[in-house]
Amino acid sequence: MMKNIFYTAVLCCTLLFLSVPRAVADDTDRTRAQRHAMVAEQIAARGIQDENVLRAMRSVPRHLFVPRLQRRNAYADRPLPIGHGQTISQPYIVAFMTEIVQPDETMRALEIGAGSGYQAAVLAEIVQEVYTIEIVPELAIWAEERLKLAGYENARVKHGDGYYGWEEHAPFDIIVITAAAPYIPPPLIEQLKDGGRMIIPVGTPYMAQYLVLVTKDDGEVRTQNVLPVRFVPFTRAPE
């Protein structure tokens, strides 16, 4: 009798463990503590104040978006390689770019350069819908898989050249570009909603670049250099 109860209990515990989604099972007290420390020491300490941004950065399991070999570095204060010569940005840069476009829960956002999917997840924690485009096919698949695993059903990934934006879902309240372009692609300015905000690294590959904030008010487009940065290059699909 006791033996049967014991076996039933073991079976129930096993079934319960297997039914917990992997993403949730992989987010432990340790990773949550690392995230809280990351926000306190790297993000709030450097002046990021927007409560939505701080909450999103505390929530998104960054370690699930990096390659397995980089997991132990996931919450470090630096960018990390994600394969194909690309990188996931330093947490502070993700927070900075998210805060400056002033996201809220009513908005629709476009990201160019899905990479790991992490920046899209941070946006998806705050806004209503996120559309993200990635030019490297393997990364587009990775980002889509990771966003799904982490439960972000309001984020959609497309493989392609982000230069042309995503016409079908335009205009966007927010556009975040995470690869450095020599100039601001005109189709993206076109797809920015009036009153909307765009952030884009502009400059020479691997050298002098600035994050440029682009605003559009009553059809008038303004640009402002806000932070010197170093991003991977914005590449173009062959014609």
Contact range with ligand SAH by CB under 6 A, out of 5-13, 44-52, 84-92, 197-205 = 84-92
Q: Give CA separation, 54 vs 19, 99, 161, in Å.
A: 30, 9, 31
Binding residue (CB under 6 A) for ligand SAH from 75, 118, 142, 166: 118
Please report whether residue 119 would count as binding ligand SAH according to CB under 6 A: yes
Neighbours of 193 (CB within 10 A): 15
Using N-to-C axis directions, what is the helix angle for 137-149 and 118-126, rounded to 10°?
Answer: 40
- Tokens 């980002």 belong to 143
- Is 59 labeled as catalytic in the residue annotation? no
Number of amino acids touching ligand SAH (CB under 6 A): 24
Phi, psi of 219 (to 5 degrees): 80, -10
Please report whether residue 98 would count as binding ligand SAH according to CB under 6 A: no
Minimum CB–partner distance for residue 63 and ligand SAH (Å): 13
Please report whether residue 50 would count as binding ligand SAH according to CB under 6 A: no
Contact range with ligand SAH by CB under 6 A, out of 18-26, 45-53, 135-143, 187-195 = 135-143
Nearest CB to ligand SAH, comparing residues 107 and 136: 136
Please report whether residue 235 would count as binding ligand SAH according to CB under 6 A: yes
Distance CA 186, CA 142 (A): 28
Helix (H, G, I), strand (E, B) or coil at 216: strand
What positions carry a catalytic annotation? 89
